[in-house]
Structure 1
């Protein structure tokens, strides 16, 4: 079952909870499809399903910020042995190559890596734990974490919501245009058929009647 189809089957409160929890767990360091869930829920909110986009954005932002903060605390306490353990458990996401790439980004960009990491799937998983492992000052991490969470979660929700509203409005207009075109084509076809039938009738009336056989003998 598709994510949006499943979300359609649960109450609005459950949608908010699912979005917040999934994004929070992803931010904590667990590879989950947080962005897919958020996009699906935001699209639902544009389709009059009872899901409020503002509440959805707040829940997504809260999940992102809280999840990243917990990931930071775990990374700061667990250190590099934790990354090695994650690499053994999730080799696809926490391989040595991925960890090295993320670490270079943090060493080069610092707080900006936390902020922009929110918009990149790989760094979104790494941001919290790796910032803790690298002993980034928490106040720096928190500022970048909160701003990144608001821009990513709130921005994604707003963009997808308005895209859905515009698309729905466009489809409605398209359906009205299609209906009007169908009516016009139907009327035009009826007029053409009527004119042709009238023309054929006049041609039959203009033709001389055939004389009976033997009438001229």
Structure 2
């Protein structure tokens, strides 16, 4: 069985559901590779032999992002900052005091714009909803920033990857699997770079402030 024939067995609805669920859970606060899922699905949509619609991919990503962030906001609003203390004890690599302190600093500095631009930043993509709720950001402002950020991120990413995939298809027609592998590798590399930058920012914050002070601010 060739790669093309294998890909053709994947129902388009399954792709939309996977994209929506993965991005929704990531937006809820669960560290999942939402960006990789979106890029991979958009690349699949660029294959003319498949029935995957790029509009469907973008819509699934947008809906998942908005719903996930909204649920995260509700949870954060209900449990407050104590939620992050509990998560920090269970998942210190993702919700440690350094991550929370950095996210709080960005929210304090940028306010509602942290929610909008947070869709494009791995750290804030996980923290935006719960932290906005915990900090009691007005829901209308949160929803407006959340929705517009999700539409721009999901729609923009899908469109760019889709058209790049279309342009590259004739060059990769004999090695269609290469495009998917390259997309995943780029996504993983980008994720690792962002993690390193986040770790550096946390270390710098640690040097400038005391953790106890940061928790209270």
Q: Structure 1 length normalisation: TM-score?
A: 0.74
The Cα shift of 1:80 comes to 1.2
Cα 1:100–1:9 change in 2 (3 A) is farther
Partner of 1:64: 65
Mapped partners of 1:43, 1:8: distance in 2: 14
Q: Secondary structure at the match of 1:92?
A: helix
Partner of 2:179: none
Query: Could you list the runs of 5+ residues in structure 2 that have no partner in the other structure?
Result: 1-5, 174-217
Mapped partners of 2:21, 2:46: distance in 1: 21
Mapped partners of 1:128, 1:100: distance in 2: 15
What does 1:117-156 align with in structure 2 at a 5 Å threshold?
Answer: 117-156=118-157
Partner of 1:41: 41
What does 1:138-177 align with in structure 2 at a 5 Å threshold?
Answer: 138-171=139-172
Greater Rg over alpha carbons, structure: 1
Q: Secondary structure at the match of 1:93?
A: helix
The Cα shift of 1:9 comes to 5.4
Q: Structure 2 length normalisation: TM-score?
A: 0.74
Mapped pair 1:102 → 2:103: yes
Mapped partners of 1:149, 1:7: distance in 2: 28
- How many aligned residue pairs are there? 167
Relative contact order higher in (CA < 8 Å, ≥ 6 apart): 2
RMSD after superposition: 1.5
The Cα shift of 1:171 comes to 4.7
Query: Could you list the runs of 5+ residues in structure 1 that have no partner in the other structure?
Result: 1-5, 173-217
